[in-house]
Structure 1
Amino acid sequence: KINTQEVFFCYRIVGEDDGGKQFTPEEYEEYKRKVIPIRLLNRLFVSWRSPTGVDCKLVGPETLCFCTHRYKQHKTDFEVIPQRRPISLPCRVPGCLCRAYLYVPLSGAQPIRCRCKHLADQHSAAPGLICNACSKCSGFHSCFTCACGQPAHAHDTVVETKQERLAQGKPVGRDVPYAAMGGLTGFSSLAEGYLRLDDSGIGAPSVEVLDASVTATDHPFLRAFQASSNSPPETLRDGGTSSQVPSLRKPEEDDMAFFERRYQERVSL
């Protein structure tokens, strides 16, 4: 019987390195002995960073490069981390001219356009990013604006080590043996920078924001919660009997416990 979980983890470790041909058990063990220590010690974190310091996009294995190939198809494992900065991650696809991974954002599901009016994938992946569809373009330059409010051309694709990232106070997650993890450290890494509340995004809201009173301009969920918290206990009658249903959250209850208790109380009515 095939252990699907084991197959999944094997795929995450090997990635594209088997060339589409399944390793033998001996080859797989040898591969793990070689690459796992490298990934645990020399992992590189890749992000698309705003001038404000926010990582607007944390690159993962499937994230596309300007050359239209995915991050996992680039060189991501180094026995010795290069001293030269920026670190270049060339594409490993045969015939590709890409010499360094370069993230390019999407407008919805479509590639963004250069100021020459042609799409990003109509430009060469060779250094200079010259347009293949016109002769007037001096290199890809987009006026697309990121959700953070900064133009795309003001962002940089940043490749950095764990130590460099820690020095900036940005999260690095756990050391994992998986291939081409890039900047992913958890589920929140899939969100855009302006939505992430960790130090790679906009950061956690201040105590003043968290303790502020709910106003008419706040989300309807917050207003409804505030209304139920401020209302007196309800007196319900069923068949001549009355029962008190407390609507206030108990001091020891977290949010989920409170909502679950209220739900169960209403279901039982």
Structure 2
Amino acid sequence: MERLTFPAGGAAALDEYLEYRRIVGEDDGGKLFTPEEYEEYKRKVLPMRSENRLFVSWRSPTGMDCKLVGPETLCFCTHRYKQHKTDFRTIPQQRPLSLPCRVTGCQCGAYLYVPLNGAQPIRCRCKHFADQHSAAPGFICNACSKCSGFHSCFTCACGQPAYAHDTVVETKQERLAQGKPVGQDVPYAAMGGLTGFSSLAEGYMRLDDSGIGAPSVEVLDSPVTARDHPFLKAFQASSSSPETLTDVGTSSRVSSLRRPEEDDMAFFERRYQERIKMEKAAKLKGKAPLPPTTKPS
């Protein structure tokens, strides 16, 4: 692996570029904005994104968002969500909302999520992959003449077939009316349905229903009850009373962590030697002479 080195201030410049790329996305056409153009772009676009953000999800018939679409999520046309039209000065009234692809020559008229089977596209009932079909409405297969349109029986992890799901594009108000998470307002382009770290997981695995991310301080400081996770109840004493965290306990916790330079064998050998030392120390402590007692006169 090639090692990259940056001059003084290079890391800060890299962070600034990543921030620029997240905000501008594909809107600069591959040519960087000047500082003046960048500031003008932010002045015009950021308020519009805050007011008219669109949330995109792949929803099952049960109403669960099995997939929350992000900037890098692929469309049926094989282009990413960030390569589609995602910013609107005024949100159209017709439903469903169409987000056409902006790549030159692409026939995609609306963003359509299609799942993957591992790392490869799913197959149609004509036995050909999704990327072997036309992105134009109708989704006719380019590899055969028998296909009447893409239709996959691939089963989602939620138990429903892929053809029963819908790609849903909705506004912030529409999601709030359904009790679904909207997260925080962010200036980045093509955020789609991402509202927090848990949004990266599939719907059935998403444990954080809010999607907002880190819980509030009140939740973190609340006492552990019988309804909480067994892990929290097991460590309730050590976490709630700081005086129980002795130096020995702290060192044992640090020792149980794998060091960056250790491989598997070195880690387990070090832990084994530490356990042997602890057992020897415990035996020596048990054989210590008893304190002298005063005989009754």
Whether TM-score is above 0.5 comes out as yes
Residue among 15, 18, 22 paired with 1:12? 22
1:139 deviates by 0.7
Identify, as 1 or 2, the structure richer in strand: 1
1:212 deviates by 9.1
Matched residue, 1:107: 117
Change (3 A) 1:200 1:82: farther
Matched residue, 1:47: 57
Instruction: State the distance in 1 between where 2:237 and 2:229 align.
Output: 19
Work out whether 1:181 is the aligned partner of 2:191: yes
1:32 deviates by 0.9
Instruction: State the distance in 1 between where 2:54 and 2:116 align.
Output: 23
1:197 deviates by 2.0
8 Å CA contact 1:55–1:200 kept in 2: the answer is no
Instruction: State the distance in 2 between where 1:104 and 1:200 align.
Output: 25
Instruction: State the distance in 2 between where 1:20 and 1:263 align.
Output: 52
Q: Matched residues, percent identical?
A: 76
1:199 deviates by 3.5
Range moving further from structure 2, 155-164 or 23-32 = 23-32
1:264 deviates by 3.2
Change (3 A) 1:97 1:157: same
Change (3 A) 1:213 1:46: closer
Instruction: State the distance in 2 between where 1:186 and 1:178 align.
Output: 14
Work out whether 1:75 is the aligned partner of 2:62: no
Q: Which deviations, in whole Å up to 9, do the C-alpha atoms of 1:227-258 show, x marking residues without a partner?
A: xx5xxxxxxxxxxxxxxxxxx6418639xx98
Work out whether 1:90 is the aligned partner of 2:100: yes
Residue among 96, 111, 136 paired with 2:146? 136
Letter of the 1:92 partner, please give it.
R
Contiguous gaps of at least 5 residues in structure 2: 1-8, 212-225, 256-273, 279-297
SS at match of 2:57: strand
TM-score, length basis structure 1:
0.78
Letter of the 1:180 partner, please give it.
A
Work out whether 1:195 is the aligned partner of 2:182: no
Identify, as 1 or 2, the structure richer in helix: 2
Work out whether 1:253 is the aligned partner of 2:245: no
Residue among 171, 196, 202 paired with 1:161? 171
**Larger radius of gyration, structure 1 or 2?**
2
Residue among 43, 55, 63 paired with 2:73? 63
Work out whether 1:25 is the aligned partner of 2:35: yes
1:186 deviates by 1.4
Instruction: State the distance in 1 between where 2:71 and 2:28 align.
Output: 16
Matched residue, 1:127: 137
1:56 deviates by 0.6
Change (3 A) 1:25 1:123: same
Instruction: State the distance in 2 between where 1:128 and 1:262 align.
Output: 64
Matched residue, 2:284: none
Q: Number of residue pairs matched?
A: 229
